[in-house]
């Protein structure tokens, strides 16, 4: 077959030949003996990785996983474990398997072809192929088995230890099955020997702290002795600046912006003598003002940080110094200090707990400051230090702690405690007390500092989130570069014109002195015009945007409609740079549990021994308890099931004064399972580090806890090894059905099919399911496995993978007990929110770790998936199968006439892994984008991030990711906008997000109201800022025609500098804060209004340059109309005559009035602050004119401005022009606006007008109108925005000429709506939005009464 896993043949040699091969391999490595141990190990690992790379890539993923489980196996696996695994081989023989091993005792070499197997080179799509002897003879025996991963040849006899021998078989003559299996698996012997040798070598130096001493990849902490290395103190600082670093750091931060660098360059050029036409300080002073405003803001914020830091650093703690306890500040602590922390106190640094006031060095902590979880967590010191209860005991402590270097992994810690003369003890996360956590319900603890100050895990995780820039910002920067290129062109053109004009007039106009070097120098002229035209780029734009966005974020924070009263959680904007991005979201990627659901679990049902049960009001009323009491044939299984529920967990019980028990759990699922057992009379009420106690229907039982194999996202299961009251050792395991079923023993599958059927029923009800299984472990097997587990637990290198491998060894031969079903209810308002977001044209993808059936049914419940949709499920186990099904479905969709398939695509994590590979990524992406809904199930956190990144990069659309847990952080940071929900799982997602909300339903208001408003506000602010600058400063270009291209300015120099920062600064602020085109209620009621901002209709390249052209036109009117009015000279009573400055101030006044009126013309929402900003700016200019005209000679500035107010205000022409010029200039704008609102009225404008008239907006939604481009909303004639219904009468009229039957006899199904005047791309986008809005489902719901059994007739309506 085709594909990466092609049929192969591998020759398997005899043990003797394998031994010689090993000897030759060993000789090739002996030449490394002259090198250091660390170098030899590194070279061996590199060589091995190269060999293993080919080996691994030759195998399919199933086998790859099997061999990975052997990478770190300890060689000290004894006979008991071998017997247990050999027994599983024997049992598999009788039940059948997936591997065919053939051979005869006298064979020395055989060939193995690819087969469906868990052992060997396999292609999962190839049928079983028997092994054929090399000589062509038929095998004497055939054995089928399905051992998951670890068998090899038996090369030793008796109990002799041999590092090159079998990992699993220690004795010869086990059974005929073992012999045949061992001989058949000779193919892996060489590979396993090499991996084993590597593991032994790894363990050699792992036992000495897990790192090569020469590598320095560890931290050694001496106890009660001076440290060999100087570590940092415990002082922390979260402030950005210090007194010394503020100025350079602040300036560096500010001048990373190109605009500030540009204006700094202009300010420097202005200092060159006789170059600047605007003076030396007209750019420098506004720049200094803007930088000063930013500096003041930074200083205020940083002072708050310094005060908080000082308060923390000056807290007091008791430290053990020379046998006495002294009180010191937190900042004085360092690594190796032994300290005492008392109840309700924060831990000052990352500590290793030595002992506590509770038995067995146990303590309770609260980690709300770290992850937001308020549930108490248990931490326990190791037994070796649990007895250090007095000062003298602590002083006798000698040895060292060896651990990993400081890192940011909150939930991981690898270390060992090496007391002098005692055995090495592993240290893990259960012994770590992290800075920021608080000691609860424990009088005191003794601990030793391992990480201090900036090296603590809390501070390592305090790094800022990745920098995100909005689409509007990126587009603005691009247009600024374009304007800069235009500025350069204008400078070059003006410089050349000056050169030509000077050469022409230098002789005739000799009195002008045009023969000097500077007048004839093109370089000087270019610098002059560069300074003159620099204000085409608004200097105040960045600071205006910063302040406006900051205030917009405050509006979000204080929106009472997004305040969750039950949890006292408001919405929070953690960044203000993306406010407008909220109005452009095209794709939403959502987690399910805790995001769409409440993450408040309730035990609903269970399946035990193939029988389904549900809890009743009391235990006695339930059929389950009745079966136990009546000793039903399944009573033993039921009891084991309930014991597992009440024992296998990490829940902490708290007994209240009234006798009730409150369960504190890190996971809501665990709490629900324990409460479920409680409902059936199995009450968990006592936990100590050594045992747990339960009340089983009135009988107290104690289970000794031997080992806890914790749940991880990769393992998808949790196991607990206990010693029962009868003295037996059992392993209780609960986890996902996929991982439990593959670990079942053949004789432990009695209820397999019944349980599977119940699992499907539970999932179809939208319930979360888990499978429960148990196995008995012999004492000798457990002791040998415990040694293996201990070696893995004490390893500092690859500890997690080694622990997982050790767990895989014991979590086998399970016996299925049953399954549980937990309900996770939808949050309030989720269906309505999703329906509204779909109406707004937003695509919603769900990325979850739940089962497919559960995710699909939740999709139905929240209206993401409609019953009219076809569901396409992709569950493939190989790359080739995934490729084939993606290509097939994609081809079907491409050949269909519909632009958007009415299909929900559901894919699991395994298939997604193949679909995201390089050669399938684009095809999978195209398939997903054709579907209305995409649901990814059983996905890992990294896969979530990959999916988000794929869509973000390929579509260039704005993506939003929303989640509530730590597993959602990766996708939140990959999306353009990240939303965190402050939920039950803590604040990890909220802390990593850009915006945080308490409930999913608040996302509707955040996007449709705040997002759309902020987009419109920021868009108008930016466009208006460029408009007003071009309006004024291009006039200098028009004036250059009359000034001989000399660079002479028309306006007084300080009025040029104050134009942006004073006279026209307030209207942009008013737009950015108070502008809105519709009320919040209207925006929520009609989500279609969101499409204006989503499709970037208000700010794009076309709109930007239309505004620039409009500003150029206005500047021409504002210059030439006053110029024509002042063609005749005027002599005032003081003898002065009209000069260029009078014309300049005349024009300047008209510009300010015009740009302020323009602001009013584009304003939709008028408040008293808007009036103040617009009319106040005009009044401010006239006030300045009156004052500035009389400050000379009191102040030695503006000598040429003295008396300007009298000249300007004493001529009737000024007042006539004050009425005529702004009106004439804006007349074109008014006419265009009138025509647009009459003929090309958009839906948004129509709704706003209806709001003003206080009419019924629903009537407007049905009227035909064109979009911003002239066409788009013509389909409003057929559809409502929020209901998307086809009017019955209109439907009948349009159907009469299309169908020969009446509406009662057929069902008209709208397959495609095409606007023939639109482009192909616009049609595709619009149809996808319409179909996602649920047209078809709404039609079917509305007119279900007139349906008939006949097939619906399909028609395409063209408008």
Query: Active-site residue numbers?
Result: 591
Cβ atoms within 10 Å of 291's Cβ, excluding its own:
18
Could you write out the DSSP letters of every residue in 78-142? -HHHHHHHHHHHHHHHHH--SEEEEE-TT-S-EEEE--S-SSSS--TTSPP---EETTSPPPSEE
Cα–Cα dist 1261/1266, whole Å:
12
**β-pair type (432-433, 324-329):** unpaired
CA angle 9, 12, 13 (to 5 degrees): 145
**β-pair type (995-997, 977-981):** parallel
**Within 13 A of 1337's CA, how many CA atoms are on the CB side?**
21
Cα–Cα dist 335/230, whole Å:
9
CA angle 378, 381, 382 (to 5 degrees): 130
SS3 826: strand
From the centroid of its chain, how far is CA 543? 29
Q: Are 1012 and 842 in contact (CB under 8 A)?
A: no
Cα–Cα dist 336/588, whole Å:
48
The helix (H) or strand (E) run that includes residue 988 is: helix 988-992
C-alpha Rg value of the chain to the nearest Å: 39
Could you write out the DSSP letters of every residue in 636-688? HHHHHHHHHHHHSS--EEEE-TTS-EEEE-SSHHHHHHHHHHHHTTEEEEEE-
Cα–Cα dist 1067/1021, whole Å:
9
Cα–Cα dist 1114/1226, whole Å:
8
Residues in the chain, overall count: 1359
Cα–Cα dist 644/638, whole Å:
10
Burial of 1050 from C-beta contacts in 10 A (0-12 / 13-18 / 19+): buried
Cα–Cα dist 35/283, whole Å:
67
Helix, strand, coil proportions of the chain in percent (round to 5)?
50, 20, 35
**Structure tokens that stand for 30 in this block:** 């002996």
- According to DSSP, residue 455 is labeled G
Burial of 1077 from C-beta contacts in 10 A (0-12 / 13-18 / 19+): buried
**Structure tokens that stand for 429 in this block:** 């996360």
- Dihedrals φ, ψ of 19, to 5°? -65, -45
- According to DSSP, residue 158 is labeled T
Q: Which of 382, 349, 536, 589 is nearest to 460 (CA)?
A: 349
Q: Are 745 and 775 in contact (CB under 8 A)?
A: yes
Q: Are 120 and 99 in contact (CB under 8 A)?
A: yes
Could you write out the DSSP letters of every residue in 1008-1035? IIIIHHHHHHHHHHHHHHHHHHHHHHTH
Show the beta-strand stretches assigned E in 998-1138: none
From the centroid of its chain, how far is CA 1093? 23
> 3-class secondary structure for 528-544?
HHHHHCHHHCCCCHHHH
**Structure tokens that stand for 118 in this block:** 């868990």
């Amino acid at each position: 077959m085709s594909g990466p896993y092609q049929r192969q043949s591998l020759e398997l040699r005899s043990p003797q030949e394998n031994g010689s091969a090993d000897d030759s391999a060993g000789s090739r490595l002996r030449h490394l003996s002259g090198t250091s141990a660390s170098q030899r190990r590194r070279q061996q690992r590199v060589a091995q990785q190269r060999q293993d790379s080919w080996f691994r890539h030759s195998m399919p993923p199933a086998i790859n996983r099997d061999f990975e489980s052997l990478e770190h196996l300890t060689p000290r696996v004894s006979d008991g474990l071998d017997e247990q695994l050999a027994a599983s081989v024997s049992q598999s023989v009788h039940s059948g398997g997936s591997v065919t091993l053939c051979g005869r005792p006298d064979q020395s070499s055989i060939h193995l072809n690819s087969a469906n197997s868990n052992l060997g080179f396999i292609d999962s799509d190839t049928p079983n192929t028997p092994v054929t002897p090399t000589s062509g003879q038929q095998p004497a025996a055939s054995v089928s088995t399905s051992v998951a991963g670890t068998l090899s040849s038996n090369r030793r006899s008796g109990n002799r230890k041999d590092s090159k021998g079998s990992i699993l078989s220690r004795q010869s003559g086990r059974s005929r099955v073992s012999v045949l299996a061992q001989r058949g698996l000779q193919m892996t012997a060489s590979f396993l020997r090499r991996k084993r040798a590597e593991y032994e070598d790894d363990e050699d130096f792992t036992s000495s702290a897990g790192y090569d001493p020469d590598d320095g990849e560890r931290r050694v902490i001496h106890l009660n002795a001076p440290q060999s290395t100087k570590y940092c103190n415990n002082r922390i600082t979260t402030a950005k600046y210090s007194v010394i670093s503020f100025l350079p750091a602040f300036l560096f931060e500010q001048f990373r912006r190109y605009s500030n660098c540009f204006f700094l360059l202009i300010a420097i050029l202005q200092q060159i003598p006789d170059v600047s036409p605007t003076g030396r300080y007209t750019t420098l002073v506004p720049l200094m003002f803007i930088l000063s405003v930013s500096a003041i803001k930074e200083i205020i914020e940083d002072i708050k940080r310094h005060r908080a830091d000082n308060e923390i650093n000056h807290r007091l703690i008791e430290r053990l110094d020379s046998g006495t306890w002294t009180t010191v500040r937190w900042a004085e602590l360092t690594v190796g200090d032994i300290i005492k922390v008392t109840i309700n106190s924060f831990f000052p640094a990352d500590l290793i707990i030595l002992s506590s006031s509770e038995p067995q060095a146990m303590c309770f902590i609260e980690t709300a400051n770290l992850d937001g979880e308020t549930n108490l967590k248990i931490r326990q010191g190791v037994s070796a230090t649990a007895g250090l209860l007095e000062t003298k005991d602590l002083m006798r402590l000698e040895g060292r702690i060896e651990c990993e270097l400081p890192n940011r992994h909150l939930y991981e810690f690898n270390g060992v405690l090496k007391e002098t003369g005692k055995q090495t003890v592993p240290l893990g996360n259960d012994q770590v007390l992290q800075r920021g956590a608080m000691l609860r319900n424990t009088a005191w603890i003794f601990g030793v500092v391992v990480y201090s100050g900036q090296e603590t895990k809390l501070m390592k995780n305090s790094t800022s989130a990745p920098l995100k820039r909005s689409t509007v910002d990126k587009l603005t920067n691009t247009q600024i570069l374009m304007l800069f290129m235009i500025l350069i062109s204008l400078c070059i053109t003006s410089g050349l014109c000056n050169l030509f004009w000077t050469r022409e007039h230098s002789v005739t106009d000799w009195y002008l002195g045009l023969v000097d070097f500077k007048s004839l120098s093109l370089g000087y002229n270019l610098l002059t015009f560069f300074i003159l035209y620099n204000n085409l780029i608004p200097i105040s734009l960045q600071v205006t945007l910063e302040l406006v966005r900051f205030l917009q974020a405050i509006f979000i924070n204080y929106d009472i409609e997004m305040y969750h009263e039950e949890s006292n959680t408001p919405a929070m904007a953690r960044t203000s740079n993306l406010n407008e991005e909220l109005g452009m979201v095209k794709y939403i990627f959502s987690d399910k549990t805790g995001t769409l659901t409440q993450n408040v679990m309730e035990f609903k049902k269970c399946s035990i021994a193939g029988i389904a049960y549900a809890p009743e009001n009391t235990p006695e009323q339930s059929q389950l308890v009745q079966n136990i009491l009546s000793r039903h044939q399944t009573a033993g299984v039921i009891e084991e099931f309930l014991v597992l529920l009440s024992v296998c967990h990490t829940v902490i019980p708290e007994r209240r004064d009234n006798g009730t028990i409150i369960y504190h759990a890190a996971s809501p699922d665990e709490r629900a399972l324990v409460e479920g057992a409680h409902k059936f009379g199995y009450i968990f009420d006592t936990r100590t580090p050594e045992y747990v106690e339960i009340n089983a229907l009135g009988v107290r039982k104690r289970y000794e806890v031997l080992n806890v194999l914790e749940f991880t996202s990769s393992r998808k299961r949790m196991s607990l090894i206990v010693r029962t009251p009868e003295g037996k050792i059992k392993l209780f395991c609960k986890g996902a059905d996929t991982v439990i079923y593959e670990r079942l023993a053949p004789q432990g599958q009695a209820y397999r099919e019944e349980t599977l059927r119940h699992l499907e029923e539970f999932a179809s009800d939208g319930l979360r399911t888990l499978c429960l299984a148990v196995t008995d472990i012999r004492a000798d097997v457990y002791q040998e496995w415990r040694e293996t587990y201990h070696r893995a637990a004490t390893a500092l290198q690859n500890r997690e993978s080694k622990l997982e491998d050790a767990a895989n060894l014991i979590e086998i031969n399970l016996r299925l007990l049953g399954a549980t079903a937990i309900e996770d209810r939808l949050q309030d308002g989720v269906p309505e929110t999703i329906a509204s977001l779909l109406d707004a044209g937003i695509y919603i993808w769900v990325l979850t770790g739940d089962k497919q059936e559960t995710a699909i049914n939740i999709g139905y419940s929240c209206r993401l998936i409609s019953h009219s949709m076809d569901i396409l499920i992709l569950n493939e186990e190989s790359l080739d199968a995934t490729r084939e099904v993606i290509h097939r479905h994609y081809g079907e969709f491409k050949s269909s006439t519909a632009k958007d398939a009415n299909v929900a695509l559901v894919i699991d994590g395994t298939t997604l892994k193949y679909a995201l590979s390089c050669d399938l990524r684009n095809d999978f992406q195209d398939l997903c984008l054709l579907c209305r809904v995409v649901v990814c199930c059983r996905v890992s956190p990294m896969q979530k991030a990959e999916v988000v990144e794929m869509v973000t990069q390929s579509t260039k659309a704005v993506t939003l990711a929303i989640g509530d847990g730590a597993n959602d952080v990766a996708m939140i940071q990959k999306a353009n906008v990240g939303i965190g929900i402050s939920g039950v799982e803590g604040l990890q997602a909220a802390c990593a997000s850009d915006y945080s909300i308490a409930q999913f339903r608040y996302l509707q208001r955040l996007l449709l109201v705040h997002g759309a408003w902020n987009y419109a506000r920021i868009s108008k602010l930016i466009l208006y800022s460029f408009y007003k600058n071009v309006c004024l400063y291009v006039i200098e270009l028009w004036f250059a025609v009359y000034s001989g291209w000399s660079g002479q300015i028309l306006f007084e120099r300080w009025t040029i500098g104050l134009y942006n920062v004073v006279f026209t600064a307030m209207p942009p602020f008013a737009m950015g804060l108070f502008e809105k085109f519709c009320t919040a209620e209207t925006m929520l009621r009609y989500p279609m209004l969101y499409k204006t901002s989503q499709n970037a209709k208000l700010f794009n390249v076309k709109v930007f340059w239309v505004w620039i052209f409009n500003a150029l036109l206005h500047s021409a009117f504002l210059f030439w109309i006053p110029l024509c009015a002042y063609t005749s000279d005027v002599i005032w009573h003081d003898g002065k005559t009209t000069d260029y400055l009078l014309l300049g101030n005349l024009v300047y006044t008209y510009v300010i009035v015009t740009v302020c009126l323009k602001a009013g013309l584009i304003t939709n929402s008028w408040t008293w602050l808007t009036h103040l900003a617009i009319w106040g700016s005009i009044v401010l200019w006239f006030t300045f004119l009156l004052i500035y005209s009389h400050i000379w000679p009191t102040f030695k500035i503006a000598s040429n401005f003295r008396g300007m107010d009298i000249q300007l205000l004493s001529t009737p022409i000024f007042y006539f022009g004050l009425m005529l010029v702004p009106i004439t200039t804006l007349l074109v704008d008014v006419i265009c606006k009138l025509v647009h609102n009459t003929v090309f009225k958009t839906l948004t404008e129509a709704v706003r007008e209806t709001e003003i008239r206080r009419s019924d907006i629903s009537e407007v939604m049905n009227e035909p109108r064109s979009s911003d481009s002239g066409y788009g909303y013509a389909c409003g004639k057929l559809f409502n925005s929020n209901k998307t219904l086809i009017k019955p009468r209109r439907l009948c009229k349009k159907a009469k000429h299309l169908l020969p039957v009446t509406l009662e006899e057929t069902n008209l199904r709208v397959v495609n709506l095409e606007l023939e005047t639109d482009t192909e791309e616009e049609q595709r986008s619009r149809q996808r939005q319409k179909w996602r809005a649920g047209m078809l489902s709404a039609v079917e719901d509305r007119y279900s009464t007139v349906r008939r059994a006949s097939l619906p007739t399909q028609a395409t309506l063209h408008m």
